[in-house]
A and B are shown apart, each in its own frame.
Chain A
Amino acid sequence: MRIVVAEDLYLLRDGMVRLIEACGHQVVATAATGPETLEALRTWRPDVSVIDVRMPPNQSDEGLRAALAARSEMPGLPVLILSQHVEQLYARELLADGSGGVGYLLKESVFDADQFLDALERVAAGGTAMDPAVIAKLLSTGSPNQSLDRLTEREHSVLALMAEGLSNQAIGHRLFLSEGTISKYTTSLFAKLGLTDDDNSNRRVRAVLAYLNKP
């Protein structure tokens, strides 16, 4: 995959590039500021990009804004946002366009190289990779969305893992159930959420959006 890495701290950027290249992917460009990031995304249209939220010049949310701007120009451009902290607010903004190809993880998710690469690949393929902390907060907040109330407890936990971006196989692994059982749950919860049978990954994104109370 062709990847853009945007991170202002040299040590982290360098480490990330080394990790990605060690796994056989190609880092086509790096960026250290918000404007540079947007420029690199426009020039290279990477298969996926890894972007830090806080970057110069203002040390505010430049990275996030660059990613959102790039996605509004190039819908569905896969971005994986890394941050020292996760906020539901940012997650909602990233998912709001409903076109998938979005990840939002804590920086320490790179500690587990396999999981990190798995997340990168999922996002590149148009799926999602959301930090469990965001999903846990959503769960505890309790959504006023009516259609979610009809889900069973098991369907709820399947949806929560799906919102993190896991595949049916991975969900089955987590819940100690077979992949077939999980796919039965997903079919029934898609039906309950009123999501029709079109592109599968897109439907999973829309299930997450239902979770985020944005039908």
Chain B
Amino acid sequence: MRQLGSRWAGAAVGFIRACVVGFLRACVVVVVSMLVPAVWAAAVGLGIWWGAGNPWSWVAPCVLVTVGALTLSRPVCQLVRFLVARWTATAIPAGYRQAGPVTRMSTGYWWNGFSYERTSRDALLDQKWRLRWRDPANWRDLRFTAVVPLTAGVVAALPPAGVAAAVLGLGRPEPVARVVGALGLVLAVASAPYAWRPLRPVAVRFLRPSPAMELADRVDELTAQRADTTIAQAAEIRRIERDLHDGAQARLVALGLALATAEKLMRTDPDQARELLREARAGAAASLAEMRELVRGISPPVLNERGLVDAVRALALDSPLDVAVTADAPLHLDPPIESAVYFGVAELLTNAVRHAQASRARICLTRDEAGLVAEVEDDGRGGADIRSGGGLDGLRRRLAVFDGTVEITSPSGGPTRVTMAVPCESS
């Protein structure tokens, strides 16, 4: 009996707590959602107070309505996003446009992504205003501030309205007022735990980024990737040109010189001619070795001859680590993807040797319905992270071109596990 009683007491305490918390939340929702309507109401009141007959008296309220809605919509939306995240642990992406870097051009002017300005302060200010007023999120925010009072706001107003009715009605002597007051109290108590809850679905439906904003983000992302790719490609071509110019080409010139000299010396000094020919042969071998290294860096021959799996096996054999490779049956992938994944694995193995001081590594190449997954794990000391401009950041950028992703778990003390996933059609 006592047990039953204590259970009832527990349930009652829980209900009272839910009522109190719900009531407070409902009040907060009412205040937040009614901010903009309150400004509008104030404007209308102002217009009436000044005199409805005079047409000029409506100018100030109209200005107040416009400015109030425009300036308040974003803070209201951010507040709602914060409240929803706080109360229901639902994160709603904001999707506001982010400021790009402000850079100084060689002319001395500052470029903020939109215009040139004389000083960095002007450039930042200009950028801030342009981002603020050109953001497609503004329309969504305005729509939300119009929708939320009529949906979540009205429902959340029930408990405060019930309490107000109870306070006013129960204080009067008339029986009708008392009945209305009692009904208000019942309504307030019954709706308090639930009245704030419609805020979440309304916010999820109307506050998430619109398709237009998602497309705009995607365009920004692709533009950045294209810039990355063209820069990387140009740098790579310059590197190849430099290597050929200083290496193979120079050696071939030296080779030709040695052969020409040997031809001249053939009659007069055969011994020296023979020596020159020997040197020429050594030069040819050296330039071949250089070309081999260069070719390996552009496109490893074993990758062309055998495909990704065997190329990674060859890589594992050449690594000073003890590397185990597991792979699905031969993977048929597009050459650019194969190459990106191959160089990714190569870089991760190098990192495992150089930075993590690992002694073992495990490489796993698998294919699921979404695409290729390459996992590289080492037993090194861990602590790897994607630093901007670092090697892992470069890897992430190279895979991003194929919409691929890089995930790293590398607690201090190891082990490090890097998972590269590249979407591709199954074949």
Would A141 and B319 count as touching, CB distance under 8 A? yes
Which partner residue on chain B sits nearest A54 by CB separation?
B305
CB distance from A126 to the nearest CB of B (A): 26
Q: Does A89 contact B (CB under 8 A)?
A: yes
- Complex-state Cα separation, A126 to B157, whole angstroms: 95
Q: Does A137 contact B (CB under 8 A)?
A: yes
Contact partners of B314 in chain A: CB under 8 A = 87-89
Would A141 and B284 count as touching, CB distance under 8 A? no
Main SS class of interface, B = helix
Main SS class of interface, A = mixed
Contact partners of A53 in chain B: CB under 8 A = 305
Would B310 and A89 count as touching, CB distance under 8 A? yes
**A108-B302 in contact given A137-B318, A144-B322 (Cβ < 8 Å):** no
Q: Does B355 contact A (CB under 8 A)?
A: no
Contact partners of B292 in chain A: CB under 8 A = 84-85
Would A60 and B304 count as touching, CB distance under 8 A? yes
- Complex-state Cα separation, A169 to B305, whole angstroms: 37
Q: Does A140 contact B (CB under 8 A)?
A: yes
**59-87 of chain A: CB within 8 A of chain B:** 59-61, 64, 84-85, 87
- Complex-state Cα separation, A215 to B84, whole angstroms: 66
Which partner residue on chain B sits nearest A109 by CB separation?
B285
Q: Does A176 contact B (CB under 8 A)?
A: no
Query: Out of B281, B295, B305, B318, which one reaches A61, CB within 8 Å?
Result: B305
Contact partners of A88 in chain B: CB under 8 A = 314, 317-318
Contact partners of B205 in chain A: CB under 8 A = none
Would A89 and B313 count as touching, CB distance under 8 A? yes
Would A141 and B317 count as touching, CB distance under 8 A? yes
**A141-B318 in contact given A108-B285, A111-B285 (Cβ < 8 Å):** yes
Q: Does A24 contact B (CB under 8 A)?
A: no
By a beta-carbon cutoff of 8 Å, the part of chain B in contact with chain A is 281, 284-285, 288-289, 292, 295-296, 301-302, 304-306, 310, 313-314, 317-320, 322
By a beta-carbon cutoff of 8 Å, the part of chain A in contact with chain B is 53-54, 59-61, 64, 84-85, 87-89, 92, 106-108, 111-112, 137, 140-142, 144
Give me 7 other A-B pairs in contact (C-beta within 8 A), A108-B285, A141-B319 excluded.
Answer: A54-B305, A60-B304, A61-B305, A85-B301, A92-B317, A107-B288, A142-B320
